[in-house]
Structure 1
Amino acid sequence: MRTKHFAAILLLTGILAASCTTHTDKTVKNERIAMTDAISEVKQALDGQVAAWNKGELENAMDFYWESPDMLWISRNGTEKGWQEVLEMFQTDFTDRSKMGEYTYEPLHIEQVGPEAVYYVYRWKIDLQGKKLMGGVSSQLWKKVEGRWVITSEHAS
Protein backbone atom coordinates (compact mmCIF):
# COMPACT_ATOMS: atom_id res chain seq x y z
CA MET A 1 0.00 0.00 0.00
CA ARG A 2 2.74 2.45 0.92
CA THR A 3 4.49 1.72 -2.37
CA LYS A 4 1.33 2.72 -4.31
CA HIS A 5 1.00 5.95 -2.34
CA PHE A 6 4.67 6.73 -2.78
CA ALA A 7 4.43 6.07 -6.54
CA ALA A 8 1.32 8.25 -6.79
CA ILE A 9 3.04 11.07 -4.89
CA LEU A 10 6.10 10.82 -7.15
CA LEU A 11 3.89 10.86 -10.26
CA LEU A 12 1.89 13.85 -8.97
CA THR A 13 5.07 15.70 -7.97
CA GLY A 14 6.51 15.11 -11.45
CA ILE A 15 3.37 16.38 -13.15
CA LEU A 16 3.26 19.48 -10.94
CA ALA A 17 6.95 20.18 -11.48
CA ALA A 18 6.59 19.85 -15.24
CA SER A 19 3.54 22.10 -15.18
CA CYS A 20 5.33 24.75 -13.11
CA THR A 21 8.45 24.59 -15.27
CA THR A 22 6.41 24.93 -18.46
CA HIS A 23 4.47 27.89 -17.02
CA THR A 24 7.66 29.53 -15.75
CA ASP A 25 9.45 28.96 -19.07
CA LYS A 26 6.51 30.47 -20.97
CA THR A 27 6.36 33.45 -18.61
CA VAL A 28 10.09 34.12 -18.95
CA LYS A 29 9.90 33.71 -22.73
CA ASN A 30 6.91 36.08 -22.94
CA GLU A 31 8.72 38.65 -20.78
CA ARG A 32 11.79 38.44 -23.06
CA ILE A 33 9.59 38.91 -26.13
CA ALA A 34 7.83 41.89 -24.50
CA MET A 35 11.21 43.43 -23.63
CA THR A 36 12.52 42.89 -27.15
CA ASP A 37 9.31 44.37 -28.58
CA ALA A 38 9.46 47.42 -26.29
CA ILE A 39 13.08 48.16 -27.14
CA SER A 40 12.46 47.65 -30.84
CA GLU A 41 9.38 49.90 -30.76
CA VAL A 42 11.28 52.68 -28.95
CA LYS A 43 14.15 52.46 -31.45
CA GLN A 44 11.63 52.79 -34.28
CA ALA A 45 9.96 55.72 -32.54
CA LEU A 46 13.26 57.59 -32.16
CA ASP A 47 14.01 56.92 -35.83
CA GLY A 48 10.58 58.38 -36.65
CA GLN A 49 11.29 61.47 -34.58
CA VAL A 50 14.67 62.00 -36.27
CA ALA A 51 13.11 61.52 -39.73
CA ALA A 52 10.45 64.16 -38.94
CA TRP A 53 13.16 66.55 -37.71
CA ASN A 54 15.25 66.03 -40.84
CA LYS A 55 12.22 66.81 -43.01
CA GLY A 56 11.84 70.09 -41.14
CA GLU A 57 8.61 68.94 -39.49
CA LEU A 58 9.13 70.29 -35.98
CA GLU A 59 5.54 69.69 -34.84
CA ASN A 60 5.68 66.08 -36.10
CA ALA A 61 8.97 65.57 -34.25
CA MET A 62 7.25 66.90 -31.11
CA ASP A 63 4.55 64.22 -31.48
CA PHE A 64 7.06 61.77 -30.02
CA TYR A 65 7.08 63.69 -26.72
CA TRP A 66 4.41 63.20 -24.09
CA GLU A 67 1.90 65.97 -24.63
CA SER A 68 1.57 66.84 -20.98
CA PRO A 69 2.42 69.71 -18.65
CA ASP A 70 4.52 67.12 -16.76
CA MET A 71 6.86 66.35 -19.69
CA LEU A 72 10.39 67.30 -18.60
CA TRP A 73 13.25 68.70 -20.73
CA ILE A 74 16.68 69.07 -19.10
CA SER A 75 19.69 70.75 -20.72
CA ARG A 76 22.82 72.61 -19.67
CA ASN A 77 20.62 75.73 -19.59
CA GLY A 78 18.30 74.26 -16.95
CA THR A 79 14.89 72.65 -17.19
CA GLU A 80 11.66 73.22 -19.06
CA LYS A 81 8.52 71.55 -17.89
CA GLY A 82 5.59 70.92 -20.18
CA TRP A 83 5.15 69.88 -23.78
CA GLN A 84 3.95 73.32 -24.89
CA GLU A 85 6.90 75.07 -23.26
CA VAL A 86 9.37 72.73 -24.96
CA LEU A 87 7.66 73.23 -28.33
CA GLU A 88 7.91 77.02 -27.89
CA MET A 89 11.59 76.70 -26.93
CA PHE A 90 12.28 74.70 -30.11
CA GLN A 91 10.26 77.15 -32.22
CA THR A 92 12.38 80.01 -30.85
CA ASP A 93 15.68 78.20 -31.51
CA PHE A 94 14.68 76.70 -34.87
CA THR A 95 12.50 79.31 -36.55
CA ASP A 96 12.46 77.50 -39.91
CA ARG A 97 13.78 74.41 -41.72
CA SER A 98 17.02 76.15 -42.73
CA LYS A 99 18.04 76.39 -39.06
CA MET A 100 17.16 72.79 -38.11
CA GLY A 101 20.05 71.08 -39.89
CA GLU A 102 20.56 67.34 -40.21
CA TYR A 103 20.08 65.30 -37.01
CA THR A 104 22.00 62.05 -36.56
CA TYR A 105 22.56 59.83 -33.55
CA GLU A 106 24.52 56.85 -32.31
CA PRO A 107 22.93 54.54 -29.70
CA LEU A 108 25.02 54.10 -26.56
CA HIS A 109 22.67 52.26 -24.16
CA ILE A 110 19.08 51.07 -24.13
CA GLU A 111 17.25 49.06 -21.51
CA GLN A 112 13.75 48.31 -20.43
CA VAL A 113 13.36 49.57 -16.87
CA GLY A 114 9.73 48.59 -16.34
CA PRO A 115 6.81 46.91 -18.06
CA GLU A 116 6.10 50.07 -20.05
CA ALA A 117 9.28 52.12 -19.63
CA VAL A 118 12.50 52.20 -21.66
CA TYR A 119 15.65 54.21 -20.92
CA TYR A 120 17.60 55.24 -24.04
CA VAL A 121 21.00 56.96 -24.12
CA TYR A 122 22.64 58.09 -27.35
CA ARG A 123 25.20 60.50 -28.79
CA TRP A 124 23.65 63.07 -31.13
CA LYS A 125 24.63 65.92 -33.39
CA ILE A 126 23.02 68.43 -35.69
CA ASP A 127 25.01 69.48 -38.73
CA LEU A 128 24.11 72.61 -40.65
CA GLN A 129 25.59 73.05 -44.10
CA GLY A 130 28.23 70.41 -43.38
CA LYS A 131 29.35 71.91 -40.06
CA LYS A 132 28.45 70.77 -36.56
CA LEU A 133 25.85 73.14 -35.17
CA MET A 134 25.43 71.34 -31.85
CA GLY A 135 25.66 67.91 -30.31
CA GLY A 136 26.16 65.90 -27.17
CA VAL A 137 24.59 63.02 -25.31
CA SER A 138 20.90 62.55 -24.56
CA SER A 139 19.15 60.27 -22.15
CA GLN A 140 15.45 59.75 -22.67
CA LEU A 141 12.81 58.03 -20.61
CA TRP A 142 10.18 56.55 -22.94
CA LYS A 143 6.87 55.35 -21.52
CA LYS A 144 3.92 53.67 -23.14
CA VAL A 145 1.06 56.13 -22.71
CA GLU A 146 -2.35 55.37 -24.17
CA GLY A 147 -0.90 52.60 -26.30
CA ARG A 148 2.07 54.45 -27.82
CA TRP A 149 5.66 55.12 -26.82
CA VAL A 150 6.46 58.75 -25.95
CA ILE A 151 9.37 60.58 -24.35
CA THR A 152 8.32 61.71 -20.88
CA SER A 153 11.71 63.09 -19.89
CA GLU A 154 14.86 64.00 -21.79
CA HIS A 155 18.24 65.22 -20.64
CA ALA A 156 20.25 66.63 -23.55
CA SER A 157 23.74 68.00 -23.01
Structure 2
Amino acid sequence: MRFVLYLILLIAPVTVLRAQQPETAIKALLQQQTRGWNQGNLEAFMQTYWQSDSLVFIGKHGPTYGWQKTLDRYKQSYPDTSAMGKLNFNLLEIRPLSSEVYFVVGKWHLQRTAGDLEGHFTLIIKRIKDAWKIIADHSS
Protein backbone atom coordinates (compact mmCIF):
# COMPACT_ATOMS: atom_id res chain seq x y z
CA MET A 1 0.00 0.00 0.00
CA ARG A 2 2.83 2.41 0.88
CA PHE A 3 4.46 1.64 -2.44
CA VAL A 4 1.29 2.60 -4.36
CA LEU A 5 0.96 5.84 -2.38
CA TYR A 6 4.63 6.62 -2.96
CA LEU A 7 4.24 5.94 -6.68
CA ILE A 8 1.20 8.25 -6.90
CA LEU A 9 3.06 11.03 -5.07
CA LEU A 10 6.02 10.57 -7.39
CA ILE A 11 4.00 10.57 -10.63
CA ALA A 12 1.42 13.27 -9.76
CA PRO A 13 3.79 16.28 -10.10
CA VAL A 14 4.99 15.03 -13.48
CA THR A 15 1.39 14.69 -14.68
CA VAL A 16 0.54 18.20 -13.46
CA LEU A 17 3.67 19.61 -15.14
CA ARG A 18 2.77 17.95 -18.45
CA ALA A 19 -0.75 19.37 -18.24
CA GLN A 20 0.61 22.89 -17.65
CA GLN A 21 3.23 22.86 -20.40
CA PRO A 22 0.84 23.42 -23.34
CA GLU A 23 -0.88 26.28 -21.52
CA THR A 24 2.48 27.87 -20.76
CA ALA A 25 3.54 27.48 -24.40
CA ILE A 26 0.25 28.95 -25.63
CA LYS A 27 0.60 31.96 -23.33
CA ALA A 28 4.16 32.44 -24.62
CA LEU A 29 2.86 32.23 -28.21
CA LEU A 30 0.38 35.02 -27.53
CA GLN A 31 3.08 37.11 -25.80
CA GLN A 32 5.25 36.64 -28.91
CA GLN A 33 2.32 37.78 -31.02
CA THR A 34 1.80 40.87 -28.85
CA ARG A 35 5.50 41.79 -29.03
CA GLY A 36 5.53 41.56 -32.83
CA TRP A 37 2.40 43.69 -33.11
CA ASN A 38 3.59 46.30 -30.62
CA GLN A 39 6.89 46.59 -32.51
CA GLY A 40 4.90 47.33 -35.66
CA ASN A 41 6.12 44.09 -37.25
CA LEU A 42 3.22 42.23 -38.84
CA GLU A 43 5.53 39.52 -40.22
CA ALA A 44 6.73 38.73 -36.68
CA PHE A 45 3.13 38.82 -35.46
CA MET A 46 2.16 36.33 -38.18
CA GLN A 47 4.89 33.83 -37.20
CA THR A 48 2.45 32.58 -34.56
CA TYR A 49 0.05 31.44 -37.29
CA TRP A 50 0.22 28.18 -39.26
CA GLN A 51 1.95 28.95 -42.56
CA SER A 52 -0.57 27.06 -44.66
CA ASP A 53 -3.28 27.72 -47.20
CA SER A 54 -5.55 25.93 -44.71
CA LEU A 55 -5.23 28.66 -42.06
CA VAL A 56 -8.57 30.39 -41.53
CA PHE A 57 -9.01 33.88 -40.10
CA ILE A 58 -12.52 35.23 -39.57
CA GLY A 59 -12.89 38.94 -38.96
CA LYS A 60 -15.35 41.70 -39.79
CA HIS A 61 -14.87 41.08 -43.55
CA GLY A 62 -15.69 37.36 -43.23
CA PRO A 63 -13.32 34.42 -43.62
CA THR A 64 -9.84 34.72 -45.09
CA TYR A 65 -8.08 31.49 -46.03
CA GLY A 66 -4.33 31.07 -46.06
CA TRP A 67 -1.36 32.56 -44.25
CA GLN A 68 -0.32 35.01 -46.97
CA LYS A 69 -3.87 36.26 -47.55
CA THR A 70 -4.26 36.78 -43.80
CA LEU A 71 -1.02 38.78 -43.68
CA ASP A 72 -2.18 40.83 -46.69
CA ARG A 73 -5.51 41.54 -44.94
CA TYR A 74 -3.68 42.71 -41.81
CA LYS A 75 -1.44 44.98 -43.90
CA GLN A 76 -4.49 46.46 -45.61
CA SER A 77 -6.36 47.04 -42.33
CA TYR A 78 -3.31 48.25 -40.37
CA PRO A 79 -1.02 50.05 -42.86
CA ASP A 80 1.23 51.71 -40.25
CA THR A 81 2.12 51.69 -36.56
CA SER A 82 -0.35 54.50 -35.85
CA ALA A 83 -3.22 52.35 -37.16
CA MET A 84 -1.85 49.33 -35.30
CA GLY A 85 -1.57 51.00 -31.90
CA LYS A 86 -0.58 48.91 -28.91
CA LEU A 87 -2.11 45.46 -28.48
CA ASN A 88 -3.12 43.83 -25.23
CA PHE A 89 -4.73 40.42 -24.70
CA ASN A 90 -6.79 39.23 -21.76
CA LEU A 91 -7.09 35.44 -21.84
CA LEU A 92 -10.41 34.16 -20.54
CA GLU A 93 -10.11 30.44 -21.21
CA ILE A 94 -7.60 27.89 -22.46
CA ARG A 95 -9.31 24.54 -22.95
CA PRO A 96 -7.73 21.35 -24.30
CA LEU A 97 -9.64 19.66 -27.09
CA SER A 98 -6.94 16.98 -27.26
CA SER A 99 -3.29 16.77 -26.20
CA GLU A 100 -2.33 18.49 -29.48
CA VAL A 101 -5.20 20.99 -29.94
CA TYR A 102 -6.41 23.80 -27.69
CA PHE A 103 -9.35 26.19 -27.79
CA VAL A 104 -8.59 29.71 -26.53
CA VAL A 105 -11.03 32.52 -25.74
CA GLY A 106 -9.99 36.04 -24.90
CA LYS A 107 -10.36 39.77 -25.30
CA TRP A 108 -8.15 42.01 -27.41
CA HIS A 109 -7.64 45.75 -26.99
CA LEU A 110 -5.83 48.19 -29.27
CA GLN A 111 -4.85 51.50 -27.71
CA ARG A 112 -4.54 54.04 -30.53
CA THR A 113 -4.42 57.79 -30.93
CA ALA A 114 -7.14 57.47 -33.60
CA GLY A 115 -9.40 55.78 -31.06
CA ASP A 116 -9.20 52.50 -29.23
CA LEU A 117 -10.58 49.27 -30.65
CA GLU A 118 -11.48 46.12 -28.75
CA GLY A 119 -13.28 42.86 -29.12
CA HIS A 120 -13.14 39.14 -28.43
CA PHE A 121 -11.38 36.24 -30.12
CA THR A 122 -11.48 32.49 -30.29
CA LEU A 123 -8.46 30.56 -31.45
CA ILE A 124 -7.75 26.96 -32.31
CA ILE A 125 -4.09 26.32 -31.54
CA LYS A 126 -2.40 23.10 -32.58
CA ARG A 127 1.00 21.58 -31.96
CA ILE A 128 2.64 21.16 -35.38
CA LYS A 129 6.18 19.77 -35.58
CA ASP A 130 6.84 20.56 -31.89
CA ALA A 131 5.63 24.17 -32.23
CA TRP A 132 2.26 25.60 -31.24
CA LYS A 133 0.54 27.47 -34.09
CA ILE A 134 -2.79 29.22 -34.53
CA ILE A 135 -4.73 27.29 -37.17
CA ALA A 136 -8.03 29.18 -36.84
CA ASP A 137 -8.76 32.68 -35.53
CA HIS A 138 -12.16 34.35 -35.16
CA SER A 139 -11.73 37.92 -33.98
CA SER A 140 -14.58 40.37 -33.68
TM-score (norm 2): 0.88
Q: Alpha carbons of 1:57 and 1:150: their partners in 2 closer, same or farther (altered >3 Å)?
A: same
Where in structure 2 are there 5+ consecutive unaligned residues? none
Distance in 1 between residues matched to 2:60 and 2:16, nearest whole Å: 36
Residue 106 (structure 2) pairs with residue 152 (structure 1): no
Q: Deviations over 1:85-141 (max 9, x none)?
A: 101101111112222111112111112221111211111111212731x21100111
Equivalence map 1:5-20=2 (5 Å) = 18=4
Residue in 1 that maps onto 2:65: 81
Residue in 1 that maps onto 2:95: 111
Displacement of 1:29 in angstroms is 5.0
Give the secondary-structure state (helix, strand or coil) at the position aligned to 1:131.
coil
RMSD value over aligned CA atoms? 2.2
Between structures 1 and 2, the one with greater helix share: 1
Distance in 2 between residues matched to 1:56 and 1:137, nearest whole Å: 21
State the structure with more CA Rg.
Answer: 1
Q: Alpha carbons of 1:118 and 1:47: their partners in 2 closer, same or farther (altered >3 Å)?
A: same
Seq. identity, %? 24
Displacement of 1:66 in angstroms is 0.3
Distance in 1 between residues matched to 2:58 and 2:114, nearest whole Å: 27
Displacement of 1:32 in angstroms is 3.0
Residue in 1 that maps onto 2:41: 57
The letter for the 1-side match of 2:44 is: N
Q: Is the CA contact 2:49–2:134 (under 8 Å) kept in the aligned structure 1?
A: yes
Give the secondary-structure state (helix, strand or coil) at the position aligned to 2:97.
strand
Aligned positions, number: 140
Q: Alpha carbons of 1:52 and 1:70: their partners in 2 closer, same or farther (altered >3 Å)?
A: same
Instruction: Choose which of 115, 120, 133 in structure 2 pairs with 1:137.
Output: 120
Instruction: Choose which of 82, 87, 112 in structure 2 pairs with 1:98.
Output: 82
TM-score (norm 1): 0.79
The letter for the 2-side match of 1:140 is: L
Q: Alpha carbons of 1:99 and 1:130: their partners in 2 closer, same or farther (altered >3 Å)?
A: closer
